[in-house]
Every structure is written in C-alpha cells, then in structure tokens.
Amino acid sequence: MPKNTEIKKIMVIGSGPIVIGQAAEFDYAGTQACIALKEEGYEVILVNSNPATIMTDTNMADKVYLEPLDLEHVARIVRKERPDALLCNLGGQTGLNLGMQLHKKGVLDECRVKVLGTDLAGVEKAEDRKLFKEFCIEIGEPVIESHIAVTVEEAMEAAHTIGFPVVLRPAFTLGGTGGGFAYNDADVDRIARSAISLSPVGQVLVEKSIKGMKEVEFEVVRDAKDKCVVVCGMENVDPVGVHTGDSIVVAPTFTINKKDLKMLRESAVNIVRNVGIVGGCNVQYGLCPETSKYFVIEINPRLSRSSALASKATAYPIARVATKLALGLTLDEIQVAGTTADIEPVINYVVAKFPRFPFDKFVQADRKLSTQMKATGEVMSIGESIEEAFLKAVRSLEVGYSHLYKKEMSAWSHNELVEFVKVETDERIFGIMEMLRRGIYIGEIHRLTAWTVFFLEKLNNIAQMEEKLKKGQSVELLKQAKKMGFSDEYIGEVWGKTFAQVYEMRKANKIYPAFKKVRNGIEYYYSSYVGIASSQAPRNDKKKKVVVLGSGPVRIGQGVEFDYSTVHAVWAIQALGYEAIIINNNPETVSTDYTTGDKLYFEPLAFEDVMNV
C-alpha cells in the first residue's frame, strides 16, 4: 500500500517535561517519528515544551513550537499552521490526551486535521476503563472482575461487591498515577479520592487484585492491511502488583511454556486487531502458570517505555515503523536492519532491564513499590545468560554497587531479612541474594516473594559462585566467574586484590570478552565472556575514532539533556570525519539507537566495561 500522498504537512505532539512515568523514551519516539516523516518527504511541525530534548532540536522538524502542551496553546498552533494530519501517539499519555481533547473540542474537525495511526475511537476504547472492559468481553478476552466508579461512594460500594483486596486504576493517567492496592475501607477512601481527582475524565476502575500472578507483556505492531508482528515478548521478574516500569524485566520470556506463550501471543494480536491499532501497542497480562488462566490487565495504544525497551532489545525501531505505518505504508514496505519490518526479530541472547529509582536523592521517601510508577528511568543489559545480564545491569545502575551485594544486609538477622523481602521495594533483590547466601530454601523465598523459582535458581547460581571464589583462587575460577558476569572489582574484593590486579591476571591468561552483534547488518554490540574473544567487532583502523560516553539512566539531576549533548557530540565528530563510537546503557534514549553513531556498544558505564571496549 503506498503512503498517503493527500497530506503534506504533519504535526507531531511531544510529551513535555520529564516526569516519573514519562521520560527519555518519548524523546526517542518523537525523534524517530520526525526522522521517519522527513524520510518520506513530509513537512513536520513539532510542538513540545521541553528544551532539553533532541526532538526539539531544529534539525528534527521544519518548524518547532516550544509552547505549553495544553488545549489552548496547541489549538492555537493547529489553527495557525493548518496541518493536514496529526500524530499524537508518540508523545506518551500527554500527547494522546491532547489529541483526544483537540478532537472532543472540535478543533480537528474545524481545521480538517486527520489523525494518523490508530483512530481516536480506538484510543478511547483502549484507555477508557469501562469501554475497554466491555470491549474485551465482547471479543472473548478474559478480564478481571471490576466496576467503574466516578465517586468515592461508588468506589467503596464496588470494593465491597468484589471483596478485598482490590486495585484502583484511574483512567487516562500516566504511569499508574493515583492508583494502588486497597485492603480496607480506609485505603479505598484515600486512593479513590486521589484517583478520581487525577483522572482527566474523573473515572477509576475498582478491580479484583491478582497480585502475585506472573506478569507478561507483548509489543505488537499492526499495519492497515491487518498484518501483525509480535516484536518482543517480555517477562516481569516481579509478579503482578509492581508497575511494569518499576519491575525487573527480561526478554525473551523464559518461564512461560510454549502452549501458554502461543495463547498469549494470539490474544495480543486479537486485541490489537479488534481495537484497530495502526502502529505500535503494548499489551499486558497476568498469568497463572499452574492453570494457564490469564487476564488482560491493560493495553497502551501508543508508544511506551516498554516500547523503547523492546526496540533496543531487538534492534527493531518500533517508533519509526509505527510512524510509517500511520502514513499508510505496510510492514513489508518498510526496511529494518537490512530486512523488512514484517519479519519478526529473534532474540538469541538475554536482555535484562533494571529500573533506576530516585531514593538515593530522597532517602526518606517510601520505597514500597505498587501500581504507581516510582522509577525515573532504567538500564538495559545484554548477556548470554540471566546471571550475566543481571550482574551487568546492577553495575549499570550507578547506585554504588558492582555486584548484587549490599554489605549491611550481611549483619541482619534471619527475621529482619524475612520481613524485608516480604515487601516489594527497589532493594528486594539484594535481600533475596542475602537469603540465598545463607542457604535458605528456594521454595521458602518463592513463598515469601512470589518470584518464579527459575529466577531464584539463577540468583542462587551467583551465590554459589561467590562461595567458590571465597574458598579458592585459580584461573579456572576466574574464567567461570567472568562468564557469569562477575566484575573484576567484586572478584578483587573477595580475593583481597585490587581490580587492577584481577585485570592483570585476566590479561596474563588472555581472558577477554567477545563482542557480539545484536543483529546482523548493523553496528550494534554487547560483550560476553561466553564466546571467543577473537570474534570481536571488526575494528576500523583506516579512520581516527572517538568514543562518546553516554550518561546512563535518567535520574534526578541527570536527564534527557545529556542524551541531547551525546547526540550532538556524535554529529560533530562525524562532521569532522572521525568514526563516532557510543557506549551507553539506557534503552530509552536517542543515543542508543543503532543509527545514531557509527558503532553502538550497550554496556555498563563502569571502568572495566568501558576499557574493554
């Protein structure tokens, strides 16, 4: 299907300032959209209020409006510019809500502006809690028992009808803002007041709690000819009850059997087709592996933080593809990494995502995690095993740990540890590791945390390797530890050596990582000690080269402005004729798109890992 040639000028709405639940991933999505639109020859008008983004750089659009993202200002720009079409599903919940407001106030009809991608009726069906529930029932998808409320009294009545515990989910809010679990009347009263006031439509869903189930999500793209591709399936290590943005996530899925995986994939495609998505969509499920019973939790009919993660995990640029699909192109007409977008990417490595929290700045804040996102950003790591990916991820976080080890926990009593891991917090994995070091039965930890036994066994492998290192020093043990992702720094601590001495031991015995391609045909690499070091990325010695270090995860004091700097540095280096090599670990950013530099290494920004590159 050829692209739409009836339209010439397209307006893109950004996501505004960085807030919890809406960070650098929407600068990435918006930038990809602008690039894709200009590739296809359209005039691009961008509206955003965040000066720190690549998206608002004058290189990205033909015109940039740095204006408040509210109905009054955006409507004024629409009336002035008279765009032929609007793209609002790449600016997060902010962009989507603004698109809905422009439609409902008649501005789009008045100015004859066409909405690209998923139509707004489909968006409303997906975002409105009542409509979505009715829609799922209509197409035969299982939903959790729930009731819609617009007053605190209705929420209380719904909670009593369903039975405690319940979860309250406000409609059209960002990152679960205003929601949470209620175990009694007081909880309902407190959460419902917040949820209803924060929802743009004054609506909250009161839903039966399925806390503790396995959470699985899929990123799906669909074109106007109804062709769907499941880009990536992701499994939350944390069970249902923790917002997916605050969860440790792995890809591909590891503990879902083939039958259940097929069932959920088919369900995701069924939902995306029936909503009428044109572009990308995120679908989230709660699954009981023992019974194969599942529930649809929610969908995002837009690009999300999970979309950015899936894009970087697979080297499949979802935002760019979604933009071109919105223009009328079909998946088989869009090129992705030397092939077409209708080919499902294959992950033959392990990806791990760890969230980055602001608790190092706000030490008195409540660290308990629930349905309302608290993470400011995230890191992604790639390895050949769960163990390697987890250990690379923890040192990417830049929170002072080179390993899954929190020293002060070693002095805690058994009861203190038990009480600690019962509660979902950002440091729960450190408590679990301490229990494994003490030989506490994996089944008991599973009972306390609802973490899948498979992941607890992988963490136990790390604990057992720690024990081996404490008992002896040898080249063979060093090789085994490095294959599992252990850092030179941690090994040095255990052996009473400096990390430099451990490196010299590696050097003397030629223990180096291999650098492997994420996908054939593109210059995108990750390191692993599983493999032959000689299979390293080919080095270009004909050209002088400059390594640009990215800024890692978004956190308080270091946000998307440093990704802006990184990308501009790369452009300047390339303009001067040098090869630009990027090292970064943040899947949300423009700098970690494989097309930004000449080479991309997805690695921890730690001395050892950078020096390896």
Residues linked to residue 45 through DSSP beta bridges, in sequence order: 11, 63
| Least trusted range by pLDDT, from 105-114, 300-309, 340-349, 412-421 | 300-309
Tokens 């391609």 appear where? 517
Distance CA 465, CA 486 (A): 9
Given a cut of 90, whether residue 61 has pLDDT beyond it is: yes
Task: Report the SS3 class of residue 124.
Answer: helix
Confidence at 490, pLDDT banded by 50, 70, 90:
very high
Averaged pLDDT, 564-579: 97
Q: 132 to each of 146, 222, 484, how far by Cα in Å? A: 11, 19, 44
Query: 187: burial class by Cβ within 10 Å (0-12, 13-18, 19+)?
Result: middle
Query: 184: burial class by Cβ within 10 Å (0-12, 13-18, 19+)?
Result: exposed
pLDDT 10s digits, 132-172: 999 999 999 999 999 999 999 999 999 999 999 999 999 88
Q: Return the pLDDT at 533.
A: 62
Residues linked to residue 204 through DSSP beta bridges, in sequence order: 149, 170
Distance CA 382, CA 352 (A): 7
| Least trusted range by pLDDT, from 279-283, 511-515, 534-538 | 534-538
Closest CA to 381 of 227, 526, 588: 526
Q: 483 to each of 352, 387, 416, 458, 504, how far by Cα in Å? A: 16, 9, 33, 13, 17
Cβ distance 547 to 525 under 8 Å? no
3-state SS of the chain: helix, strand, coil percent to 5?
A: 40, 20, 40
Residues linked to residue 546 through DSSP beta bridges, in sequence order: 580
Given a cut of 80, whether residue 2 has pLDDT beyond it is: no
pLDDT 10s digits, 398-427: 999 999 999 999 999 999 999 999 999 999
Q: Return the pLDDT at 83.
A: 97
Determine what percent of the chain is predicted with pLDDT higher than 90.
85
Q: In terms of DSSP H, where are the helices of 220-363? A: 258-275, 305-314, 318-326
Q: Residue 545 — φ and ψ, nearest 5°?
A: -135, 150
Q: Return the pLDDT at 534.
A: 54
Distance CA 504, CA 575 (A): 38
DSSP 465-534: HHHHHHH---HHHHHHHHHTT--HHHHHHHHT--HHHHHHHHHHTT---EEEESSTTS-EEEEESSS-GG
Distance CA 442, CA 458 (A): 11
Q: What is the CA radius of gyration of the chain?
A: 24
Q: Return the pLDDT at 130.
A: 83
Q: What predicted TM-score, i.e. pTM, was given to this entire model?
A: 0.94
Peptide bond into 317 cis (omega under 30): no
Pairing of strands 599-602, 579-584: parallel
Ordered domains of the chain (ranges, CATH): 9-116 (3.40.50.20), 145-208 (3.30.1490.20), 215-347 (3.30.470.20), 399-508 (1.10.1030.10), 519-612 (3.40.50.20)
Cβ distance 242 to 426 under 8 Å? no
Distance CA 36, CA 566 (A): 21
168-177, 199-208, 406-415: which has the highest mean pLDDT? Answer: 406-415
Secondary structure of 422-474 in HEC code, one letter for each residue: HCCECCHHHHHHHHHHCCCCHHHHHHHHCCCHHHHHHHHHHHHHHHHHHHCCC
Tokens 């010695």 appear where? 541
Given a cut of 90, whether residue 92 has pLDDT beyond it is: no
Given a cut of 60, whether residue 1 has pLDDT beyond it is: no
Q: 407 to each of 105, 366, 433, 473, 488, how far by Cα in Å? A: 57, 22, 11, 22, 17
Locate 244 and state its tokens: 């997916």
Mean pLDDT of the residues in the chain: 94
Confidence at 495, pLDDT banded by 50, 70, 90:
very high
Q: Return the pLDDT at 538.
A: 77
Given a cut of 70, whether residue 519 has pLDDT beyond it is: yes
Determine what percent of the chain is predicted with pLDDT higher than 70.
99
Cβ contacts of 364 within 8 Å, gap of 6 or more = none
Given a cut of 90, whether residue 175 has pLDDT beyond it is: no
Q: Return the pLDDT at 174.
A: 74
Confidence at 303, pLDDT banded by 50, 70, 90:
confident
Task: Report the SS3 class of residue 279.
Answer: strand
pLDDT 10s digits, 527-554: 999 987 655 677 878 889 999 999 999 9
Q: Return the pLDDT at 44.
A: 97
Q: Return the pLDDT at 536.
A: 64
pLDDT 10s digits, 236-273: 999 999 999 999 999 999 999 999 999 999 999 999 99
Confidence at 310, pLDDT banded by 50, 70, 90:
very high
